[in-house]
Chains A and B, each alone.
Chain A
């Protein structure tokens, strides 16, 4: 499962898309958690989390279930509302009101575990949907962009298919294209391969790797340690709503800094 090697077909000319622009501000703060607390009822899911993510980073979030990793990324685009502290995304606070939250969501594309493609729309329409709805892009132009994005994720031939006619891996690649269509500066991946058969995971991971190589800022909740090592620039291990370990993936995987982390790695 570690074979996410550099593949020549990913390197073909023109493959590096417009998102390379996001590398222009390398090193600036993209996401800032400031003592963020999130509760579900009485359960504290995020416990005064402080975290800064800079442009160009590929952060891999790992941890046992219930440790708060999904909640952490869902707070970034305000699908979950924080209960304490502040959370700033590209200089906009998630607490700044619904219009500002929509701006954040346009900056931060999201890919879900269950794909969540719009079932009544074809692959092409799914990808063209976001720009038409939130950027006011004319239909013709939105569909041209959508075609290019589908080609980028290797699905040009499936443009006219409905989600129900696509495999899980294909659906997830369409979902990635859909998120990219709004031209985000940051991509959030919430267990993007967990609902997929092992042989379908690689096609999704490969697309994600290419995105990372283009300089996209990414936060990925995953159990794919091969991907983490190869593509991640930073690994965060969460436990009980706190960041327990934070460091370079290869280093952490080769020399687990504590017993709990070592124990966790045995089980993934």
Chain B
């Protein structure tokens, strides 16, 4: 068979549209996921029995179920249970928030607990309240240790958005699927889709490298 570049050219606007949606879901979802992960990770690391237990339950529940099931639950089951309307985009973003939040919570917990105890004591010994010690002494060191696993999770989450094809969100994979269904040019379309994912993740990886370079890894 011959590779027809014009097919890709024609499909490009629609694919770009899908890529834009993929980026949007990923960025908004991960922003939420980082916030959720920070909260639950700190609850798990420093909370009392109850807070730590809640965080543990959340993390285990999310890690114990596939993301496709989670998004289906949010999109199809939640509306029935709570009698609310959830549109596909909201469901997709929520799924990324909930899913990445659990993994990021573990990253946060691990990073904070890996910081030598002496630093925490040094902060406390100056007379700082615990929250300030966590924010300004342990946090900055933990944050540097978090960047590599966090980057990994960002990449995983970006690719996870392709699973939202199941609820009909018009992200990149879904766009590819729809174009392919119309013109049957599987090779060209899936090559193009793959290339676009590669570029997006390449940009992400490069930015993370830059951040890591600018920070002193401790």
A143 to B124, CA, bound (A): 21
Encode B102-125 as 1/0 by CB contact (under 8 A) with A: 000000000000001011011111
Contacts of B126 in A (CB 8 A): 105-106, 129-130, 133-134, 178-179, 182
Quick check: is B216 within 8 A (CB to CB) of the other chain? yes
Contact B118 A116, beta carbon cutoff 8 Å = yes
Which positions 94-137 of chain A face chain B at CB distance < 8 Å?
Answer: 98, 102-106, 109-110, 112, 114, 116-120, 129-130, 133-134
Known: A79-B121, A114-B118, A162-B216. A120 touches B127 (CB 8 A): no
Quick check: is B140 within 8 A (CB to CB) of the other chain? yes
Known: A116-B119, A120-B140. A110 touches B125 (CB 8 A): yes
Contact A112 B121, beta carbon cutoff 8 Å = yes
- Interface extent on B, as a size class? 20 to 34
Contacts of A129 in B (CB 8 A): 126, 136
Encode A21-55 as 1/0 by CB contact (under 8 A) with B: 00000000000000000000000000000000000
Contacts of B216 in A (CB 8 A): 119-120, 162
**A235 nearest CB across to chain B (Å):** 24
A106 to B132, CA, bound (A): 15
Contact B122 A116, beta carbon cutoff 8 Å = yes
Residue from the list A98, A114, A117, A178 in contact with B129, Cβ < 8 A: A98
A175 to B126, CA, bound (A): 11
Residue from the list B122, B132, B136, B218 in contact with A112, Cβ < 8 A: B122
A212 to B181, CA, bound (A): 84
Which positions 5-57 of chain B face chain A at CB distance < 8 Å?
Answer: none
Quick check: is A172 within 8 A (CB to CB) of the other chain? no
Quick check: is A217 within 8 A (CB to CB) of the other chain? no
Contact B141 A79, beta carbon cutoff 8 Å = no
Quick check: is A67 within 8 A (CB to CB) of the other chain? no
Encode B181-218 as 1/0 by CB contact (under 8 A) with A: 00000000000000000000000000000000000101
Q: Which of A133, A134, A175, A179 has the most CB of B within 10 A?
A: A133
Quick check: is B128 within 8 A (CB to CB) of the other chain? yes
Quick check: is B159 within 8 A (CB to CB) of the other chain? no
Contact A106 B127, beta carbon cutoff 8 Å = yes
Known: A112-B118, A133-B132, A162-B216. A118 touches B127 (CB 8 A): no
Which positions 128-170 of chain A face chain B at CB distance < 8 Å?
Answer: 129-130, 133-134, 162
Contacts of B71 in A (CB 8 A): none
A91 to B125, CA, bound (A): 18
List the B residue with the shortest CB-CB distance to A129: B126
Quick check: is A77 within 8 A (CB to CB) of the other chain? yes
**B40 nearest CB across to chain A (Å):** 24
List the A residue with the shortest CB-CB distance to B122: A116
A119 to B118, CA, bound (A): 12
Known: A112-B121, A118-B122, A120-B140. A105 touches B129 (CB 8 A): no
List the A residue with the shortest CB-CB distance to B144: A120
Quick check: is B137 within 8 A (CB to CB) of the other chain? yes
Contact B218 A119, beta carbon cutoff 8 Å = yes
Known: A77-B125, A79-B124, A103-B127. A120 touches B141 (CB 8 A): yes
Contacts of A106 in B (CB 8 A): 126-127
Contacts of B218 in A (CB 8 A): 119-120
Known: A119-B141, A120-B144, A162-B216. A105 touches B127 (CB 8 A): yes
Contacts of A79 in B (CB 8 A): 121, 124-125
**A147 nearest CB across to chain B (Å):** 19
A179 to B123, CA, bound (A): 10
The 5 closest A-B pairs by CB, nearest first: A106-B127, A116-B118, A116-B122, A105-B127, A110-B125
A sample of 30 inter-chain contacts (CB < 8 A) reads: A79-B124, A98-B129, A102-B127, A102-B128, A102-B129, A105-B124, A105-B126, A105-B127, A109-B125, A110-B125, A112-B121, A112-B122, A116-B116, A116-B118, A117-B122, A118-B119, A118-B137, A118-B140, A118-B141, A119-B216, A119-B218, A120-B140, A130-B126, A133-B132, A134-B126, A175-B122, A178-B126, A179-B126, A182-B126, A182-B127
Interface residue ranges, B against A (CB under 8 Å):
116, 118-119, 121-129, 132, 136-137, 140-141, 144, 216, 218
Given contacts A103-B127, A105-B127, A120-B140, 16 further A-B contacts (CB under 8 A): A77-B125, A79-B125, A102-B128, A102-B129, A106-B126, A112-B121, A116-B118, A116-B122, A118-B122, A119-B119, A119-B216, A129-B126, A129-B136, A133-B132, A175-B122, A179-B125
